[in-house]
């Protein structure tokens, strides 16, 4: 006999069992809202915002500075052509690696950071980032890139200017006053410390304080001494660095050091390290000096450096006592070169320069920097201690012979495919066998130059060129005919094939020049 109550009870029990089972399954998949097995997480602040307001305000300031400044910071890639060693220069056991067919030179990719100083594409960076570069490419935070040309470089201050030629308007940096920078104030270093390992560390922002000013490391001078072209004028190097503990690593070179109001106060240039990586000491070129160098590079293509014509040293405590100086500060003249402004003005060995145009001078790099801020032909007033008494000396600055270095001879203009970085040959039977094609015919890429535009876009040696910019290609003359009409900066579209019959599209930008 059918019992309705018992039937209903069975339905209720079955539904309850099904619900419990479903909830267990849902919990296993992470669908349930809560579980007694999980602890309750407290997300309430442990310290009130008012209690840490200064830190929160500083953090917000860093965020605001980074947001405003980063769009004007760029990554720079420079391609240099370096000489490959010949077999005669290599120890005999290794000569088998340098046999016939080795190239006399090969490209090497280097680079660092930079920042835009004008909306029409002028960029400030380090000399060592772009010096002797055959090609320069500039990358932006939004992943666009442009070819750039070097306007001028100054190895004596490690400052360089490059330019992007385009109609586009760019975000720019604002300049501060490096003379007003104080030890202990907050600064941010911005750049690309991941250069050389891809773009994983692009546009990194680090914060720290100004640790010291007026650091002279002899880094620039040592580089000049190692270059036969600049050995004789290495003494004109200016090293008056701002020291910071904001993290700077290789690849940050040329990036901006900015104050808490987002103004550039220096160009990141060097680190003091025994490992090649950051160990707490970063150094930046004062922006006031860099700005003066920049103006000459844009106006003349080189720097017109003012000079006194004296050999100088920092004052030591013994010098201060011997010469009757009021403090251990100033610049001791060790010699005066004949026929120079210093000699004509009557400067003497043993004079101690303590001021220029009323601005006190404490050490050699400071005097060099302040003279470099002037132009040849400017008149300056020096205050020197002579015989224990201050003496005023007026003179007109001369021009330093720093532009007499041997010029770099420009290479002959390359044909279009060489500018892209490829060599092409007819796909003969021999090459077809070498690259694995079932039959000969057409044009094959026989070489791809390392670090070239083609290499960066991964055109590969052994690929057969099917078409360029929509035109079918059958001979090397076809390739040169199509590429010969392509303007610098224009995208070239390749359709290339492989021995297995597959094909792909590769877009490459034609380098300038």
User: Which residues belong to the active site?
Assistant: 128, 158, 253
DSSP annotation of 370 reads H
CA distance 112 to 125: 8
Q: Contact 214/229 with Cβ under 8 angstroms? A: no
Cβ-Cβ contacts under 8 Å for 324 (sequence gap 6 or more):
385, 387, 388, 389
Helix (H, G, I), strand (E, B) or coil at 497: strand
Torsion of CA 403, 408, 414, 420, to 10 degrees: -90
How many residues in total does the chain contain? 513
CA angle 412, 415, 419 (to 5 degrees): 90
Is 15 exposed, middle or buried (CB count within 10 Å of its CB: 0-12, 13-18, 19+)?
exposed
Residues forming a β-bridge with 106: 82
Q: Contact 309/159 with Cβ under 8 angstroms? A: no
DSSP annotation of 234 reads G
Using alpha carbons, select from 88, 127, 125 the residue that is nearest to residue 104: 88
């Amino acid at each position: 006999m059918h019992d309705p109550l018992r039937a209903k009870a069975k339905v209720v029990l079955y539904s309850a069992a099904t619900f419990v089972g479903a909830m267990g399954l849902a919990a296993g998949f992470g669908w349930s809202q809560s579980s007694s097995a999980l602890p309750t997480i407290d997300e309430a602040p442990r310290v009130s915002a008012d209690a840490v307001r200064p830190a929160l305000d500083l953090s917000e300031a860093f965020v605001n500075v980074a947001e405003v400044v980063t769009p004007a910071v760029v990554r720079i890639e420079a391609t240099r052509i370096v000489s490959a060693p010949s077999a005669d220069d290599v120890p005999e056991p290794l000569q088998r690696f340098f046999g016939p067919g080795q190239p006399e030179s090969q490209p090497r990719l280097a680079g660092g950071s930079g920042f835009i100083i004008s909306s029409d594409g002028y960029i400030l960076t380090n000399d060592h980032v772009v010096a002797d570069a055959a090609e320069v490419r500039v990358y932006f935070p939004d992943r666009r890139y442009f070819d750039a040309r070097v306007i001028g470089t100054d190895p004596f201050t490690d400052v360089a200017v490059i330019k992007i030629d385009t109609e586009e308007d760019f975000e720019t940096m604002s300049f501060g006053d490096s003379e007003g920078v104080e030890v202990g104030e907050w600064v941010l270093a911005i750049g690309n410390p991941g250069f050389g390992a891809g773009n994983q560390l692009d546009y990194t922002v680090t914060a720290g304080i100004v640790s010291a000013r007026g650091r002279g490391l002899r880094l620039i001078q040592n580089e000049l001494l190692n270059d036969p072209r600049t050995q004789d004028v290495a003494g004109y190097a200016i090293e008056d660095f701002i020291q910071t503990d904001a993290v700077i690593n290789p690849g940050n070179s040329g990036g901006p050091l900015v104050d808490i109001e987002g103004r550039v106060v220096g160009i990141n240039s060097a680190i003091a390290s025994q490992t090649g990586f950051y160990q707490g000491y970063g150094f930046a070129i004062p922006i006031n000096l860099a700005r003066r160098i920049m103006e000459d590079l844009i106006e003349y293509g080189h720097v017109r450096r003012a000079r006194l014509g004296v050999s100088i040293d920092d004052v030591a405590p013994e010098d201060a006592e011997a010469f009757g100086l009021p403090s251990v500060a100033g610049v001791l003249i060790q010699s005066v070169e004949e026929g120079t402004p210093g000699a004509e003005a009557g400067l003497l060995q043993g004079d101690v320069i303590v001021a220029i145009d009323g601005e006190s001078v404490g050490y050699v790099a400071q005097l060099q920097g302040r003279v470099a801020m002037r132009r040849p032909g400017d008149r300056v007033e020096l205050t020197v201690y002579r015989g224990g008494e201050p003496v005023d000396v007026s003179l007109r600055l001369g021009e330093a012979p720093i532009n007499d270095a041997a010029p770099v001879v420009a290479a002959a203009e390359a044909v279009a495919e060489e500018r892209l970085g490829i060599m092409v040959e007819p796909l003969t039977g021999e090459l077809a066998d070498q690259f694995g094609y079932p039959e000969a015919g057409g044009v094959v890429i026989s070489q791809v130059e390392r670090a070239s535009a083609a290499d960066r876009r991964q055109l590969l040696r052994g690929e057969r060129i099917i078409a360029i910019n929509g035109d079918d290609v059958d001979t090397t003359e076809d390739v040169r005919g199509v590429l010969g009409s392509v303007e610098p900066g224009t995208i070239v579209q390749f359709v290339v094939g492989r021995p297995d019959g597959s094909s792909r599209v590769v877009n490459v930008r034609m380098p300038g020049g």
